[in-house]
Amino acid sequence: MKKLITIVLLAGLAAGCATSPSSNLFTLDMAPSEAAGSPVNIAVGRLRIAESLHNKRILIKKSPTEIEYYAAAQWAASLDELLREKLASEFGPVDTARQTYVLSGALQAFEQVDMESGNVAHVKLALEIRKQDVSQYATPEIAKTYEVTLLVKGGSAGSVVKALSTCLETAARDIVADIAALQ
């Protein structure tokens, strides 16, 4: 009788493990957008990531006071790594003959926001931009928050990730334009 109970319990546990949802891994679209490129070099320095974004799962802001995460969708790498790689792709290759600027700051939002009118992707970067070889304590050339929202087409995590990639492309374009205005 004990053997039968043990076998039934083990079979039940094995079935539970076999039916657990698998995670879908996502990354940003690392191909540079058509508007990519910069007349100067832009290096990505230290970027702090908001605590709620340290989770590998994709964040959903349900209301101004409630967040949750996609149950079976997560980032394939840390957001810090994905953000750096995407921005580097957008800023283009390094040319040693050009002036170099370094951006640093914080990723404050990188999320789906649920709204009555539809879900939006929301990216918010608070950045300081300085010439290379200038102390991080010196007054920045630019201190600005770049915030982009975009309506998500479709209800899947993949649709949200695509929209977040597009938001970063827009923010990168704005950063390039602000730095180019300094020239």
The answer to whether residue 15 is domain-embedded is no
pLDDT of res. 2: 55
Closest of 82, 27, 42 to residue 174, by C-alpha: 42
Q: Considering the domain boundaries, does residue 5 fall inside one?
A: no
What pTM was computed for the model?
0.85
In a domain, 3, yes or no: no
Residue whose entry in the numeric block shows the structure tokens 């040319």: 95
What's the confidence (pLDDT) of residue 6? Answer: 47
* CATH number for the domain harbouring residue 152: 3.40.50.10610
- How does pLDDT run across 24-76, given as a tens digit for each residue? 999 999 999 976 678 899 999 999 999 999 989 999 999 999 999 999 999 99
pLDDT, tens digit, for every residue of 87-126? 999 999 989 999 999 999 999 999 999 998 889 999 999 9
Residues 115, 96 contacting (CB under 8 angstroms): no
Where in the sequence is the domain holding 42, given as residue range(s)? 22-180
Number of domains in the chain: 1
In a domain, 2, yes or no: no
Place of tokens 């929202």: 149
Q: Give CA–CA dist 60/46, Å, rounded.
A: 25
